[in-house]
Structure 1
Amino acid sequence: MTVHSFRAEGISAALDLSVGHIAEFVIESGGRLLQPLHRAPWIERDDLPEGLPEGVVRLSGDFLCAPFSRSDVEAAPLHGWPANSAWDLIADEAISGGRRVSFRLQHKVMGATVEKTLILRDGHPFLYQEHTFTGGSGAISVAQHPMTEMAEGGRLAFSPKRLAATPPDVTEPDPARGAHLLAYPARSSDLTRFPAADGGQTDLTDYDAARRHEDFVTLVEAKHGGMGWTAVARKAEADVVLVLKNPAELPVTMLWISNGGRFYAPWNGRHGVLGIEDGRSAIGHAASLGDNWLKQEGVETAFTLGGSIAFRQIVGAMQLEGGDPPSQVETLPGRLRLIFTDGSQREVPFDETFLRIGEPDLK
C-alpha cells in the first residue's frame, strides 16, 4: 500500500493512493486523539473472498463515488474508478495557516479528468475536500462516502430534511445472510418515525448498537438556504462527528447503516459503522440519468460533464460530554458554532467560506 501523509497544527491525514480512500484522519483535541473515520478490520488480510472490488478490499475513511453504486453506463467497479483505482500525487504545498494536497485519478471517468484536493488548517478540527471533473461527456452521479465507527452506538442530528426514503430493494433479503430493520420501499417526513420491517416504526436519529441490521435510506434536504450538516454523537468515542456540505451541490444525504447485519465474509456480522454519504445521485449511474423518484421530487441526481464542475465537503470532530448531538450548527466569521438543546454552545475554528453557500454561480 502506498500512502501519502500530510499534517497541519493539531491535525493529520493520509490518503491510500491505490484506491483514493482516506486511510487515516486524526485530530488532536484537549489531550486526546480523535479518529472520526472508520477503517475496515479486514484490510491487509489475505483470506478475503475472491472477486471483491478493490474499494471493498481497502475500505477506509472516506472516498469519492463516481458514479454512486452501480457502474452500469460506463464499465467500472462498484462506486466507480475513483473508489477502486490509483491516484497520483500532483502537489503538496504549504498555504497560509495550513497545508493543501492535490491528487489526480489515473483513470478517466466518462472521459473526464478527476482531481481531489484535501486541505488541513492549523487548529481547525476539519478536513476540507474538493473534487473537480474537467472535460468528458454525458453526465455523472457522485457522492462522498465518509464512514464513522459506532462501537456502542450514538445519536444523530441533521440540518432540515423534507423526507427520508428507502429504495425498492431490501438490503439483505435472505435471513441466513443478513438482517434489515427498515421497511422497503417506504418514506416518511418524520425521521424519528420511519416505517420498520415489522410493521412498526423506528427512529433514524438513534443508532442502537444492540440491533443487528444492514440498511440504506436517502434523506432529501429541505429548502432552508443554509449549510447542510450531519452530526453524530458517538457514545463510546465521547465525541461528535460532523459532515458538512452545500446542498446546492450535494442535495441528498444517504445513510448506510452497517450494524452487524451482514453475516458473510468479509463483514462477518461485525461492522458497526455508519456511512454519511452526501451526494447528487440516485442508486446506480443509469438510474441517476433516468427519470428517477428524486427527479420527480425536483432533486438533481447528476452533474453534466464537458466543462469544469466542482463540489466540496467537510468532515471533522470534536470532544463531546454527554450523549446528545447539537440541535443547530451555524457558521460565524472564522468559527463554527454548535448549539445544544440545553442551551449550551461550542465554537471551533472554521473556514466558513469553503462551502460557497449562497454563491450564485456554483459549478
Structure 2
Amino acid sequence: MQGWTLTWDRGRAVVTPAGAMLHHLTFDLGNGRSVAPFAEAAWHDEPEIQGDETLAQHLRLLGGEWACVPFGTTQIDPGHHGYGSNAEWELVEDGEGTIHLACAFPAGHPVERLERRIRGVPGKAAVEFSLRVVTRIDCALPIGLHPIFKLPETTGTLHLEPAPFERGQVFPEPFQPGVSRLATGSLFSRLDAVDTLDGEPVSLAALPAPGLFEELVQLWKLEGSIALRDETAGTRVRFEWDKGAFPHCLLWISQAGRTAKPWNGRFRGLGIEPVASAFDRTDLLDGSFSREGVSQPFRAGEPWDTRYRISAEALASA
C-alpha cells in the first residue's frame, strides 16, 4: 500500500494520500506482544478493483480509519462520506512519529479545507488524531469518524464496552434488504437485547453474533468512548473522542453480508463511527428524529478543531 510510514517506539502504521486514511496500525504491547486492531479489505492488491474508477476511492481502500466531512450521503456533496474521503491529500509535515496532511476542497463547496494530524504517543501503545475543518460559509454539516475494527472468527469473543448512552436505534429502513435481521427502526436501551425481525432479541454486546451479516445501529448521546475487549487475543482496544464534537455513534456490523463488487461476501469488520449525524443519511431527518446533535455548526473562515485517540493494552489476565 502506497503512503507514508508512521513509526514510534510503540507502534507503526501507513497513511495513504487517498483520504488521509490510516491503515495497518500495529501496537507494541510489550513482552513481545502486539495487536493490529483494524480490519483491512482483501482487495487492496487486486488490479481489477483498484483500477475501477466507478468505485469510490475509500471503498477501494476500505479498512483502517479516516474522517468524513460531510458524513454519509448528503445533498451537499455527491461523494458518500464527503470529498475528502476520496480525494488525494497533500503532505504538510512528515516528522518524527507525526504525519500532518491537508485537503483543499473544490470551489463552491461549503468546506474550504481539512487538516489532519496523526501522532504516535511516545512510550504508549496509542495514537492521537486531530482534525481541523475550515469552511467558506457559515453552515451546519453532518460529520463523522470512520475506524473499522477487526472481527474475530470465534463467535462472541469481542466484547463491546461502550460509555453510557441514552438510547440505541436500528437503521429506520431495511439496511440490506433480505440480509439484515434487526427490527427496522427499533429502539433499545442495552446492547445485549436488540429486537430482530423474527421477534427474538439478539446481543450486540459480544461479536461476532450468529446470524447477523449486515447491520447498522446508532447509539444516541454516547459519552465519548467505546472499548473492545478481545478474550481470545487478551487485549483491550479503546477509542475515545470529544462527545461535544460527535455526540452519537454508529455501529456498523459487516460479517460477509455484502455480495456486490468489490465485497463479494468477503469483508468482515466493525465500524465504530462517532457522528454528529442521524445515521448516514440526511434524508432520514423527519419528524421521528430529534435534530439535536445531527450536524456540527461552523463559522466561515474560523478553524474548528477536535481531537481523538485510539489505544491498546494487554489484559491483566492474559
| TM-score, length basis structure 1 | 0.78
Q: Note the alpha carbon deviations across 1:87-135, whole angstroms, 9 max, x for none.
A: 11101234xxxx3321001435523211001111111111111111123
Q: Is 1:143 the counterpart of 2:139 in the alignment?
A: no
State how far apart, in whole Å, the 2-side matches of 1:287 and 1:302 are.
Answer: 16
**Residues 73 and 285, structure 1, Cα contact 8 Å, conserved in 2:** no
Q: Does 1:213 align with 2:213?
A: yes
> What's the counterpart of residue 310 of structure 2?
315
Q: Secondary structure of the equivalent of 2:47? A: coil
1:187 Cα deviation from its structure 2 partner? 0.9
Q: Residue 322 of structure 1: CA displacement?
A: 6.2
Instruction: State the secondary structure of the residue aligned to 2:71.
Output: coil
Distance 1:300 1:265, change over 3 A: closer
Given the alignment of the two structures, is residue 52 of structure 1 paired with residue 47 of structure 2, yes or no?
no
Which secondary structure state, in structure 2, belongs to the residue aligned with residue 201 of structure 1? coil
Confirm whether residue 249 of structure 1 aligns to residue 250 of structure 2. Answer: no
Q: What does residue range 31-50 of structure 1 map to in structure 2 within 5 Å?
A: 31-48=32-49
Q: Is the 8 A contact 2:69 2:84 kept in 1?
A: yes
Using the alignment, how far apart are the partners of 2:287 and 2:273 within structure 1? Answer: 18
- The DSSP-based 3-state class of the residue aligned with 1:303 is strand
TM-superposed CA distance for 1:229, in Å, is 1.2
Question: Are 1:115 and 2:119 an aligned pair?
Answer: no
CA displacement, residues 36-85 of structure 1 (integer Å, 9 cap, x when unaligned):
1111111121233762111101112001111211132233x211112111
Is 1:100 the equivalent of 2:98? Answer: yes
In the alignment, which residue of structure 2 is the partner of 1:304?
Answer: 298
SS in 2 for 1:295: coil
- Pairwise CA distance, 1:282: 1.9
Task: Extract structure 1 runs of 4+ deviating beyond 6 A.
Answer: none
Instruction: Output the amino acid matched with 1:59.
Output: L
Distance 1:221 1:111, change over 3 A: closer
Distance 1:234 1:5, change over 3 A: same
Give, in whole Å, the separation in 2 of the partners of 1:267 and 1:318: 31
Contact 1:13 1:26 in 2 (8 A): yes
Q: Is the 8 A contact 2:241 2:309 kept in 1?
A: yes
Are the counterparts in 2 of residues 303 and 309 from structure 1 also a CA contact under 8 Å?
Answer: no
| Equivalent position SS for 1:202 | coil
TM-score by length of 2: 0.88
For the residue of structure 1 that corresponds to 2:58, the secondary structure is helix
Using the TM superposition, give the Cα deviation of residue 299 of structure 1 relative to its aligned residue in structure 2, in angstroms. Answer: 2.9
Which of 223, 228, 233 is matched with 1:232 structurally? 228
Change (3 A) 1:239 1:293: farther
Asked if the contact 1:172/1:180 (under 8 Å) is kept, the reply is: yes
Output the CA distance in 1 between the equivalents of 2:93 and 2:307. 18
Q: Give the CA deviation at 1:181.
A: 2.5
- Tell me the equivalent position of 1:160: 164
Hey, what's the Cα distance between the residues in 2 that align with 1:208 and 1:189? Answer: 20
Paired with 1:285 and 1:186, the residues of 2 have a C-alpha distance of: 17
In structure 1, C-alpha distance between the alignment counterparts of 2:241 and 2:197, rounded to whole Å: 31
Question: Which of residues 38, 42, 67 is equivalent to 1:64?
Answer: 67
CA distance in structure 1 between the partners assigned to 2:193 and 2:170 by the alignment: 13
| Whole-Å separation in 2 of the counterparts to 1:88 and 1:42 | 25
Identity of aligned residues (%): 21
Distance 2:289 2:131 in 1: 23
Per-residue deviation, 1:144:
0.6
Q: Which runs of 5+ in 1 are unaligned?
A: 324-363
Q: Are the equivalent residues in 2 in contact too, given 1:37–1:148 (CA < 8 A)? A: yes
The residue type paired with residue 61 of structure 1 is G
Work out whether 1:18 is the aligned partner of 2:10: no
Name the amino acid aligned to 1:163.
Answer: R
Structure 1 residue 189 displacement after superposition: 1.8
1:73 aligns with 2:76: yes
**Are the equivalent residues in 1 in contact too, given 2:112–2:135 (CA < 8 A)?**
yes
Aligned 8 A contact 1:72 1:284 in 2 = no
Alignment root-mean-square deviation, CA: 2.3
1:300 positional shift? 4.2
**Cα distance, 1:281 vs structure 2:** 1.3
